[in-house]
A and B are shown apart, each in its own frame.
Chain A
């Protein structure tokens, strides 16, 4: 829209042709810079890919799981013992596992405090900017509120959570 206005403007005062031409150079330079910017920014592939989602979900889950285990008073759990692995895809077959949507599903595999391998299906709503809401399976990660080691009722950090990843 702005460039159209620039193009139309000189016609309004034909008697001022010479100074107008000189003055029009600045907006033209700006428009040129804008075109270069468009080329620069649009050259990349899809912002949301399954690799990016997987790389974000696994470490975020680890951090939250460590918080949950600390609240429950389970000791001996570290990021290394949890050793999570995520495999994500979209339910919509036409989406080719890229792009924002509420149909992202991730299979997460990790090791719990009792050294058992756990598998859980996480459902994700991924937004175009790279932020997502994830919900875990209640049977494995626990309900929305959990009883902490001290007896207090606290929000279960793993039940539902928000996270973001870089899309650039």
Chain B
């Protein structure tokens, strides 16, 4: 599937404006995006992200009980803004790692599976350029899916439940305009650890050369991290887990917001991103690919 030549028009136009290295990364990136849009799996993921929140709200509406275990669960019938926040709390537990690893875990290992490394490396693109092109494509897909899921959850809540003021996390009602902004901000904060999981999936994909390990690995690691927090592990270790920053949005939904966990989470996520990408890049550059 990677054997076809790169699009002709794109590199010519791009190389005139940008330095050749960056233009080549852009070519790889465009080519990877074209491959992703052609895949059934990516289209199905995006469709699920678009439709699932509406189904979820319809199913919740039929129940008289409310899911109090998750934050904002008790308000899902009272305000449409509780729906996207409830879904955010629910999705970060295991859906987010899967949403990114479904592409990032396969984007390198897929070339091993189909034996296409030799073909793409005979082109004028270096391994580094291919690495960055593919990684950026995986990152773009992660951001796109979560953005679709966020907007769809917000739309499902507002259209099917309404835009009533939202009971915040400090005992005050947040007016609907402010609640809508905070919902989007809360979802945006989840992008930071999400990209950490993208890097983790890319690393597993490169290191194991196995799509299954690349896709399932981050989900399992995410679950173990959640389990560690759930079982009341030490605070110091919990701060260093990539699943912890997914909860950093809680501080935003207050009358007087706090941002400490958000900064801490951003630092930790950046650490995971840097380490995982450095390992993946190093391993890919040194790999013996002559065997195909």
On A, residues with C-beta under 8 Å from B are 2-3, 5-6, 9, 12-13, 16, 20, 23-24, 26-27, 30-31, 33-34, 37-38, 41-42, 44, 46-47, 56, 59-64, 67, 99-101, 128-131, 133, 155, 157, 160-168
Nearest CB of chain A from residue B267's CB, rounded to whole Å: 6
Q: Is B113 positioned at the interface, with any CB of A under 8 Å from its CB?
A: no
Known A41-B236, A46-B235; judge A33-B274 contact (CB<8 A): yes
Quick check: B271 and A37 within 8 Å, CB to CB? yes
Name which of B5-13, B31-39, B55-63, B282-290 contacts chain A.
B282-290
Distance, CA A42 to CA B247, complexed state (A): 18
Q: Is B229 positioned at the interface, with any CB of A under 8 Å from its CB?
A: yes
Quick check: A129 and B169 within 8 Å, CB to CB? no
Distance, CA A3 to CA B288, complexed state (A): 21
Quick check: B251 and A164 within 8 Å, CB to CB? yes
Nearest CB of chain B from residue A120's CB, rounded to whole Å: 15
Quick check: B235 and A168 within 8 Å, CB to CB? no
Q: Is B254 positioned at the interface, with any CB of A under 8 Å from its CB?
A: yes
Quick check: B286 and A100 within 8 Å, CB to CB? no
Known A164-B251, A167-B261; judge A30-B235 contact (CB<8 A): no
Quick check: B275 and A27 within 8 Å, CB to CB? yes
Nearest CB of chain A from residue B91's CB, rounded to whole Å: 16
Q: List 10 A-B contacts (CB under 8 A).
A: A2-B275, A5-B279, A26-B278, A31-B275, A42-B240, A63-B172, A131-B169, A164-B250, A166-B260, A168-B258
Distance, CA A24 to CA B171, complexed state (A): 52
Interface string of B40-69 (1 = CB under 8 A from A): 000000000000000000000000000010
Known A34-B271, A129-B261, A164-B254; judge A24-B282 contact (CB<8 A): yes
Q: Which of the residues A30, A99, A129 comes within 8 Å of B274, measured between beta carbons? A: A30
Known A13-B286, A37-B267, A37-B268; judge A166-B236 contact (CB<8 A): no
Given contacts A61-B171, A166-B258, A166-B260, 12 further A-B contacts (CB under 8 A): A5-B207, A9-B283, A12-B286, A27-B278, A30-B275, A47-B235, A63-B255, A67-B171, A128-B238, A131-B247, A167-B260, A168-B260
Q: Is B120 positioned at the interface, with any CB of A under 8 Å from its CB?
A: no
A31 — which chain B residues lie within 8 A by C-beta?
Answer: 275
Most buried by A among B68, B207, B264, B274: B274
Q: How large is the interface on B (under 10, 10 to 19, 20 to 34, 35 or more residues)?
A: 35 or more
On B, residues with C-beta under 8 Å from A are 68, 71-72, 74, 78, 167, 169-173, 203, 207, 229-230, 232, 235-240, 244, 247, 250-251, 253-255, 258, 260-261, 263-264, 267-268, 271, 274-276, 278-279, 282-283, 285-286, 288
Known A9-B283, A166-B258; judge A38-B235 contact (CB<8 A): no
5 nearest A-B pairs in the assembled complex, by CB-CB distance: A168-B260, A63-B171, A42-B236, A166-B258, A60-B171
**B66, closest chain A residue (CB):** A155
Nearest CB of chain B from residue A75's CB, rounded to whole Å: 18
Most buried by A among B173, B244, B251: B251
B261 — which chain A residues lie within 8 A by C-beta?
Answer: 129-130, 166-168
Most buried by B among A2, A24, A99: A2
Distance, CA A1 to CA B69, complexed state (A): 33
Nearest CB of chain A from residue B148's CB, rounded to whole Å: 26
A128 — which chain B residues lie within 8 A by C-beta?
Answer: 229-230, 232, 235, 238
Most buried by B among A13, A33, A42, A128: A128
B239 — which chain A residues lie within 8 A by C-beta?
Answer: 41-42
Q: Which of the residues A9, A47, A161 comes within 8 Å of B171, measured between beta carbons? A: A161
**B275, closest chain A residue (CB):** A2
Distance, CA A165 to CA B258, complexed state (A): 8
A64 — which chain B residues lie within 8 A by C-beta?
Answer: 171
Quick check: B74 and A162 within 8 Å, CB to CB? yes
B275 — which chain A residues lie within 8 A by C-beta?
Answer: 2-3, 27, 30-31, 34
Nearest CB of chain B from residue A6's CB, rounded to whole Å: 6
**B236, closest chain A residue (CB):** A42
